């Protein structure tokens, strides 16, 4: 059983790559829409996985909330987490460990997987060629992790003291960045509503035909900014946007309304 959160498709892809045939895969954003979470029912000995992106060396807020609330009919015998990131998962493992422990669950293993860094607010998105290379390497790593999960490995991410110092400074910035007042639309916005319908957490409403962002719901996942008419602050204008190829295929197949 795998639970994932994803903004631009990397973690969704990782969850599907890690799943064994017939394994249940849940999108946390869909589960959290409901007023209460069901109790999940893993089989005896079934692994339970949590897969999500890294935001400012921390977990997405929704994943944090979910880890505190999730409940199971039997205590899962093996729990793991996989963090997809551009290069540094920072405090994610420790945060997941402590949130699950609060919920009387034990994190047995964790991995970070380097995928394409999608945070267009801070940097340029890599070229198509570099993206392909990164995703091919990630695919190989995911295949190895899948085997390790099967063997119930106790793999943990090691974090250097330098990385720890950096991450402790970064995590509070997420709480500031997640406020939505810096989103805006340029004059190419036609009010089609795709950003609102794609948003995994329904943080966008269409007001007078144009998108309006809701602080409190937004995870800062960069799903909406996949549309070139959406901008954030002063840095994104003119920058290419990132979408994992799985979601591009969905769009090409006519599934334009929902990226999840
Ligand atoms: C707000 C934000 C903050 C990010 N911070 C980090 C970070 O601290 N370290 C890192 O390696 N990648 C960081 N990234 C990159 C993402 O973790 C990475 O691209 C991830 O695979 C995206 O997953 P998704 O496609 O499932 O949304 C950040 C991305 C966003 C949107």
The Å distance, Cα 200 to ligand 1 centre, comes to 16
- At 258, the pLDDT band (50, 70, 90 cuts) reads very low
Query: Are 170 and 184 within one domain?
Result: no
Do residues 115 and 189 both lie within one domain?
no
- Looking at the structure, tell me whether residues 49 and 116 fall in a common domain: yes
Residue 190's domain spans which residues? 178-252
Q: Is 222 in the pocket of ligand 1 (CB under 6 A)?
A: yes
Quote the ligand 1 centre to 86 CA distance (angstroms): 6
Same domain membership, residue 42 and residue 98: yes
3-state secondary structure the chain: CEEECCCCCHHHHHHHHHCCCCCCEEEHHHHCCCCCCCEECCCCCCEEEEEEECECCECCHHHHHHHHHCEECCCCCEEEEEEEECCCCCCHHHHHHHHHHHCCCCCCEEEEEECCCCCCCCCCCCCHHHHHHHHHHHHHHHHHHHHHHHCCCCCCCCCCHHHHHHHHHHHHHHHHHCCCCCEEECCCCCCCCHHHHHCCCCCEEEECCEEEECCCCCCCCCCHHHCCCEEECCCCCCCCCCCCHHHHHHHHCCCCCCCC
Please indicate, yes or no, if residue 259 is contained in any of the structural domains: no
Same domain? 45 vs 133: yes
- Report whether residue 85 contacts ligand 1, using a CB cutoff of 6 Å: yes
The CATH number covering residue 229 comes to 3.30.70.20
Same domain, 144 and 229: no
Same domain as 34, residue 72: yes
Model pLDDT for residues 67-118, shown as the tens digit of each residue = 999 999 999 999 999 999 999 999 999 999 999 999 999 999 999 999 999 9
Ligand 1 atom nearest to CA at 6? 26
Q: Give tens-digit pLDDT for 121-154.
A: 999 999 999 999 999 999 999 999 999 999 999 9
| 154 in the same domain as 40 | yes
Final residue in a domain of this structure, among 126, 145, 174:
174
**What separation in Å is there between the alpha carbon of 29 and the centre of ligand 1?**
17
């Amino acid at each position: 059983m795998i639970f994932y959160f994803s903004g631009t498709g990397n973690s969704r892809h990782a969850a599907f790559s890690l799943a064994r045939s017939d394994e249940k895969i849940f999108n946390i954003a869909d589960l959290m829409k409901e007023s209460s979470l069901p109790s999940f029912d893993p089989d005896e000995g079934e692994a339970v996985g949590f897969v999500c992106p890294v935001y400012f060396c921390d977990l997405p807020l929704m994943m944090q909330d979910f880890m505190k609330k999730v409940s199971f009919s039997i205590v899962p015998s093996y729990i793991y987490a996989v963090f997809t990131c551009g290069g540094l998962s920072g405090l994610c493992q420790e945060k997941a460990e402590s949130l699950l422990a609060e919920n009387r669950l034990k994190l047995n293993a964790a991995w970070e997987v380097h995928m394409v860094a999608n945070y267009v607010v801070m940097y340029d998105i890599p070229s198509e060629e570099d993206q392909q290379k990164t995703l091919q390497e990630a695919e190989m790593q995911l295949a190895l992790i899948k085997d390790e999960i099967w063997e119930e490995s106790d793999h943990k991410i090691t974090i250097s003291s330098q990385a720890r110092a950096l991450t402790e400074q970064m995590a509070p910035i997420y709480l500031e960045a997640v406020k939505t007042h810096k989103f805006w639309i340029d004059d190419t916005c036609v009010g089609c509503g795709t950003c609102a319908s794609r948003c995994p957490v329904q943080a966008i409403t269409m007001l007078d035909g144009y998108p309006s962002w809701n602080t409190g719901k937004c995870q800062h996942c960069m799903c909406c900014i996949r549309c070139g008419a959406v901008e954030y602050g002063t840095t994104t204008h003119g920058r290419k946007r990132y979408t994992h190829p799985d979601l591009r295929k969905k769009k090409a197949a006519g599934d334009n309304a929902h990226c999840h």
